[in-house]
Amino acid sequence: MENDSLGGSRYLLLISESEEYIRKYITVVQTQFSKKVKFVRHDGACELATNSIQMFYQDQGIEQQTTVPYAHQTNGTAERAIRTILTIGRTMLHHAKLDKCSWAEAAMTSIYVKNRLPSPKFVLKNTFEIFYNSKPSVKHMRAFGRQTYILTPKENRLKWDPEARTGIFVGYEEVSKAYRVYDIEAGQVVISRDVNFDEL
């Protein structure tokens, strides 16, 4: 990407682009969701063809499929996924009138949203349903870029301190089931469950 993100990111990395993340993803899929990964398709890049990752695939019984170099159409699924993530993220970023440095947050939020949208691949289901065998709740979902008020716990403020700080909603934190909010005063993204949204 041409701009560093709020957190200093420079690249949109799909799990298919890092050996460490490939291992983690495959392990999570197989242990948390009881799904067997049968094959991995990649473009033959040297970082994806190391001896250690090849041994990992072999130990897991995973077939490797290599596409033709520079022939993006042979890896259509990944190319479409990237295009969709970028399109949704770019649309959210511009609609919210946020600076380009929020691109990584917009991309992550677009993935979160996309995983909860009906998919043409699965009849009347979405990716979330396929993995979790239940419909996702969308009650907590809010518009990207919405103004927020991050509540400060009583234990962390003095008697005359404000009860909340102004922020901008930039995404969801799945691990802790909280919101990612850009704290305007602190100049950084914070994670909090105690957020009020300006719904006007």
pLDDT by residue for the chain (200 residues), tens only, comes to 555 555 555 555 554 457 787 888 888 888 888 888 898 877 777 767 788 888 898 999 999 888 777 666 666 777 788 888 899 999 999 999 998 888 889 999 999 999 898 887 777 788 888 888 888 999 999 999 999 999 998 888 888 988 999 999 999 997 788 999 999 999 999 999 999 998 76
Residues 34 and 84 in one domain: yes
Is the whole-model pTM more than 0.85?
no
User: DSSP secondary-structure letter at 117?
Assistant: S
Range of the structural domain that residue 124 is part of: 15-132
Buried b (16+ CB within 10 A) or exposed e, 154-164: eeeeeeeeeee
- Return contacts of 124-131, CB within 8 angstroms, 24+ apart: 131/33, 131/35
- Number of domains the chain contains: 2
Residues 24 and 118 in one domain: yes
Domain presence at residue 140: no
Residues 97 and 32 in one domain: yes
**The pLDDT value given to residue 105:** 92
Residues 158 and 75 in one domain: no
Which residues lie closer than 8 Å to 15 by C-beta, 6 or more apart?
A: 21, 22, 24, 25
Tokens describing residue 97: 């009138």
Distance between CA atoms of residues 39 and 48, nearest Å? 14
- Which residue type is seen at 66? T
**The pLDDT value given to residue 8:** 55
Tokens describing residue 114: 């996309």
- Can you tell me which residue has the tokens 């006007």? 200
Task: Among 79, 103, 132, identify where a domain stops.
Answer: 132
